Amino acid sequence: MSAAESETLVDTPAEQVLSEARRRRTIAVISHPDAGKSTLTEALALHARALREAGHVHGKAGRAGVVTDWQDMEKQRGISISSAVLQLDHRGTVVNVVDTPGHADFSEDTYRALTAVDAVIMLVDAARGMEQQTRKLFGVCKQRGLPVITVVNKWDRPGQEALALLDEVETVTGLRPTPVTWPVGIAGDFRGLLDRSTGAYTKYTKAPGGATLAVEQHFDPAGAAEVEGDAWQAAVDEHELLEATGADHDEASFLAFETTPVFFTAAVANTGVGQVLDAIVDIAPSPRDQPDVTGEVHPVTGRFSAQVFKTQTGMNPAHRDRLAFARIHSGVFHRGMTVRDDRSGRPMVLKHVQTVFGSDRSTVDVAWPGDVIGLVNARHVNVGDTLSENGRLSYPPLPVFAPEHFRTVRPKDLGAGKQFRQGLRELDAEGVVRVLTSDSRGDGEPVLSAVGALQFDVVQYRMTHEFRSPVLFTELPFTTARIIDREDAPLLRAHRGCEVVENSEGRVFALFTDEWRVRSFARDNPDVRLEELVATSD
């Protein structure tokens, strides 16, 4: 790229930046485990014509696995353990979809992904309703004011009544449900959908294997009544009841976090998903101006800025590279531009930047507000860092969860020390676990801290298969951590039931066996700082 071309891109007119931002939607899919997040994401990609066939989480009966669950452990266990990003194009709109882990043990990854989106799809299991993790994640959406599109999934299986599910959504969230589509046929007998805005009927026939688009037939109300009989009349009666109570979609109240539009799907059969994709384009918000850490609002039309919300290694095993995912908040990115990291002040020339589709990647030359870009081998960039052209802009820090599980780790083979240290550095940078060291244990047997015990399974698997250094764990009795000042470390080391450790950024923590010991120490030493971490998984 020539200097003249670079200058032209840097000085892109604000009107063009705003135009590009307005045709972007960046959303996350959230829910309790096994509600169908990855399957829905895959079905959205199929309807956007980004895939020829949609995969299935377990890849059964000859059907491929989903592209977003690209890690071997995800394929084997049928769960998402890491956020994945897809960029789709639908009706001239760029849709960036972040598929998040649902398991509570990986909730820190999910919460950070929510800082990178402008709206969410909240997936509700038709049989199980609003489950625990869905409720927790909704609380974060409420805190951040993220508009919520509700999708009731698995309507092709036996489940609750549709009206009862709406009551549960409203009771739990406080948002008034405003269904856009309404199912014809009870849960387990999914025949099609009534479009509440037009009264038209779409009848679905599942494609063999469910890997391709379902066959659709379209009817006016009279034709629907002839085809579906009593099932159609029941749907019409419920639609009229909703209409009488004013449960119709209103864009202003949706964006004001007062209502939630509702859709019904059977994502595994690719039915009802096209309406969800249309809704993302039609009603989801485009990127907004964002406040920095001081509260000053920066417009999307300003100079380039982005925040790193995730790093990932091992996406390309042949090259052992590291990818840092950054959400663009303002301005235009162009390949070859120089930016600075707000934390270190270090300048970076962004030559190797890619867009991602699961584990597949392609080089990107230009990107706009709302896009998620992957910085290849940006090893000096950490999660939470803000990148901007002058390096003086900082967006608010990302959530850090209070760990509840602690184990020491050591290599099973002492000859694999180099791989052991490298692997732990990478997993610490990704946030898979936190690697802590102490004077008493040394670097050879660090302490790993985690929000959930399943994170240690991920460490074991990836250290063995990705970094070629199987590890051994020893469980520790600690259950809570507090941030402390370095000068108070000797006092805390002398306290029974406590250990002092340090993370890779030089922050010092005291680990306690239980909350009683925290309160006891605080009572005896009221002048010592014992700071809780800024977020929890509760």
pLDDT tens digits, one per residue of 231-274: 999 999 999 999 999 999 999 999 999 999 999 999 999 999 99
Do 271 and 204 contact (CB within 8 A), yes or no?
A: yes
For residue 34, name the pLDDT band (cuts at 50, 70, 90): confident
For residues 361 and 157, what is the distance between their CA atoms, to the nearest angstrom? Answer: 36
β-bridge mates for residue 86, sequence order: 97
Residue 368: DSSP 8-state: -
Scanning the structure block, which residue is given the tokens 């030559």? 351
The helix or strand, by DSSP H or E, that contains position 471, with its residue range, turns out to be strand 471-475
Q: Are strands 508-512 and 386-388 parallel, antiparallel or unpaired?
A: unpaired
Tell me which of 42 and 192 has the higher pLDDT. 192
For residues 335 and 366, what is the distance between their CA atoms, to the nearest angstrom? Answer: 6
pLDDT confidence of residue 530: 95
What's the pTM?
0.80
Do 306 and 386 contact (CB within 8 A), yes or no?
A: yes
pLDDT confidence of residue 75: 44
Tokens of 264: 């019904």
Residue 535 has pLDDT above 60, yes or no: no
Strand, helix or coil for residue 39: helix
Do 108 and 38 contact (CB within 8 A), yes or no?
A: no
Q: What is the dihedral of CA 31, 148, 279, 56, to 10 degrees?
A: -10
The average pLDDT across 455-475 equals 90
> Minimum mean pLDDT among 191-200, 242-251, 405-414, 528-537: which range?
528-537
Tokens of 56: 């299935």
Residue-wise pLDDT for 169-227, tens only, equals: 999 999 999 999 999 999 999 999 999 999 999 999 988 766 788 999 999 999 999 99
pLDDT confidence of residue 65: 44
Tell me which of 50 and 257 has the higher pLDDT. 257
Mean residue pLDDT of the chain comes to: 86
pLDDT confidence of residue 59: 40
Tell me which of 211 and 281 has the higher pLDDT. 281
What is the total residue count of the chain?
Answer: 538
> Minimum mean pLDDT among 79-93, 316-330, 385-399, 406-420: which range?
79-93
Residue 293 has pLDDT above 80, yes or no: yes
**Whose CA is closest to 261, among 169, 370, 133, 188?**
169
pLDDT confidence of residue 301: 96
**Using CA of residue 519, residue 521, residue 527, residue 532, what is the dihedral sign?**
negative
Q: Which residues contact 416 (CB under 8 A, 6 or more apart)?
A: 468, 469, 470
Share of the chain above pLDDT 90, in %: 57
The average pLDDT across 372-379 equals 86
pLDDT confidence of residue 77: 43
The helix or strand, by DSSP H or E, that contains position 107, with its residue range, turns out to be helix 107-114
For residue 358, name the pLDDT band (cuts at 50, 70, 90): low
Residue 79 has pLDDT above 50, yes or no: no
φ, ψ of residue 290 in degrees (nearest 5): -120, 140
- Residue 483 neighbours by CB distance under 10 Å: 16
CA-atom Rg of the chain in angstroms: 25
pLDDT confidence of residue 114: 87
For residue 451, name the pLDDT band (cuts at 50, 70, 90): confident
Residue 61 has pLDDT above 70, yes or no: no
Tell me which of 135 and 220 has the higher pLDDT. 220
Amino acid at 394: S
Strand, helix or coil for residue 213: coil
Do 97 and 86 contact (CB within 8 A), yes or no?
A: yes
Do 428 and 501 contact (CB within 8 A), yes or no?
A: no
pLDDT confidence of residue 6: 40
**Whose CA is closest to 476, among 407, 410, 411?**
407
For residue 505, name the pLDDT band (cuts at 50, 70, 90): confident
As a 3-state breakdown, the chain gives helix, strand, coil percent values, each rounded to 5, of 30, 30, 40
Do 120 and 146 contact (CB within 8 A), yes or no?
A: yes
Residue 73 has pLDDT above 70, yes or no: no
Strand, helix or coil for residue 180: coil
Residue-wise pLDDT for 87-126, tens only, equals: 889 999 999 998 776 445 556 677 788 889 999 999 999 9
pLDDT confidence of residue 318: 55
Residue 81 has pLDDT above 50, yes or no: no
pLDDT confidence of residue 320: 59
β-bridge mates for residue 501, sequence order: 509
